[in-house]
Amino acid sequence: MRFEKMHAAGNDYIYINLFEEKVENPGELSIRLSERHFGVGSDGIVLIGPSVQADYSMLMYNADGSEGLMCGNAARCVGKYLYERGMTSKNEISLSTKSGIKHLSLKINNSTNKVELIQVNMGKAILSAKDAGAKGYFQLALNEMIDYPIQFDEQKYRITFVSMGNPHAVIFLHNIESLEIEKIGPKIEHLNLFPDRTNVEFVEVVDSKHIKMRVWERGSGETFACGSGACAAVVAGNIIGKCKSKAKVNMRGGQLEVLWDKASKEVYLTGDAHFVYKGEI
């Protein structure tokens, strides 16, 4: 089976082309390949295939074998893959995912014919957990969480919930570098508030147009970046007055730009993507 490893802001996945390869048990394969000492090493696998509703489809599986709903960075990598591997000549691509159809816009370097930047329309940010649950994405115990106080281990946190087609609990802190994320991340992920678990973003404000973030991903642990998490962080930050609706988001793997269009309520994620290597197993 042939694959390609790609990353966007350090968010690395193993990409498999279903037009050429057959995958019978993707969850099990993701566990095996994602292991960083005994496998290829990744945040999970992404399967690129045909779609009736869109130009192509994207299915993703986390490092623990669970199926993911959506990953903005993975979607951007798929856009680069499709164009640079000759599967499309279009710079506007539609992609079906478990959280709906996403639209990609590619910025092409005319001299090299390479993809420089990929913007993905992540869809509307959903603040009502009830509405998100009604769409079948996940279930949440409360209808809405904005700057919602929680406490455990004698520590107090304030959570703002945002769905980008997958659940995000956003927490603003004064210093994210000293955070014991391996200890705190899984506790919030598994809170009773989130029956289907949640992604957790820990955010520090640099200024009104620039934030820093560390992310604990549901099913993968801490990752270098999370596109949908960056979107959720900007939306949450704007709602509670921490940042503008357009901001740069620095993560351990790099920088992304997020725009929350207040008129349409849609969120746009922009950044580059990179091939790492090809392999065969």
Catalytic positions, please? 71, 226
Q: Which residues of 20-56 are buried (b: 16+ CB within 10 A; e: fewer)?
A: eeebeebbebbbebbeeeebbebbbbbbbeeeeebbb
Q: What is the largest CA-CA distance in the chain?
A: 58
250 marked as binding residue: no
199 marked as binding residue: yes
For residue 79, which of 67, 63, 65, 97 has the smallest C-alpha distance? 97
218 marked as binding residue: yes
Give the DSSP letter string of 4-56: EEEEETTEEEEEEETTT---S-HHHHHHHHH-TTTSS--SEEEEEE--SSSSE
227 marked as binding residue: yes
CB-based burial label for 157 (10 Å; 0-12, 13-18, 19+): middle
Residue the block writes with tokens 């000293």: 178
228 marked as binding residue: yes
**Residues ≥6 apart with Cβ < 8 Å to 88:** 55, 56, 82
25 marked as binding residue: no
180 marked as binding residue: no
72 marked as binding residue: yes
185 marked as binding residue: no
d(CA 160, CA 226): 17
Q: Hey, what are 100's tokens?
A: 């709906």
Binding residue ranges = 11, 62, 72-73, 166, 199, 217-218, 227-228
Binding residue ranges for substrate = 11, 62, 72-73, 166, 199, 217-218, 227-228
